[in-house]
Amino acid sequence: MRRVLIWAPLGLFALVFALVASGLLAPADRAVKSAMVGKPVPQFTLPSLVPGKPAVSSAGFADGKVRLVNVFASWCVPCIAEAPQLMALKQQGVEIIGVATADKPEDMANFLRNAGDPFAAIGDDRIRKVQFALGSAGVPESFVIDGKGRITKQHIGYIGPQDMPEILAALAAAR
């Protein structure tokens, strides 16, 4: 009996260590998924943030064209990292609509000049009302919108080169 009691603290330590190690090796997915996937885009109208670009309105999303809506900001470092992938999508014929959150026109102009401009339109969502209505928790996030105006896919975080096949497949499936 005493031998068991002597080894009990070591066994308890090993059990706690195994639990902590398993949590570090396979952490839980803590991403907040949008409840809007599979539902129509919420009704909104945003003024244009950039002179010469059209305003953004949900009314135009049910016209039969598949689009990628990108929620982003000029102050967002991962948004700069995803810019080459968005440019590649634009070159492949994907229409990308930007929803700029908490941004200023002059900052956006600098961002587009430095990172490139893949956007057909950029809406000014300064108070993040549309971002939150889409179910977006942060920037960048992207949503595939089918031709009927329904959200078919949400991509949380920046679109990296490794994400391109998944995004292209989602766009093709939404056609």
Domains of the chain by residue range? 30-173
Can you give the three-state secondary structure of 112-151, one letter per residue?
HHHHCCCEEEEEEECCCHHHHHHCCCCCCEEEEECCCCEE
**Alpha-carbon dihedral 99, 104, 109, 114, rounded to 10 degrees:** -80
> Which pTM value belongs to this model?
0.82
pLDDT, mean over the chain: 91
Which superfamily, per CATH, for 30-173? Glutaredoxin (3.40.30.10)
Number of H helices, E strands in the chain: 5, 7
Task: For residue 125, count CB atoms less than 10 angstroms from its CB and return exposed for 0-12, middle for 13-18, buried for 19 or more.
Answer: buried
Q: Name residue 53's beta-bridge partners.
A: none
Helix (H, G, I), strand (E, B) or coil at 37: coil
Looking at per-residue confidence, does 151 or 5 come out higher? 151
For position 7, what pLDDT does the model report? 75
Confidence of residue 12 (pLDDT cuts 50, 70, 90): confident
pLDDT number for residue 13: 81
| Residue 125 predicted with pLDDT over 80 | yes
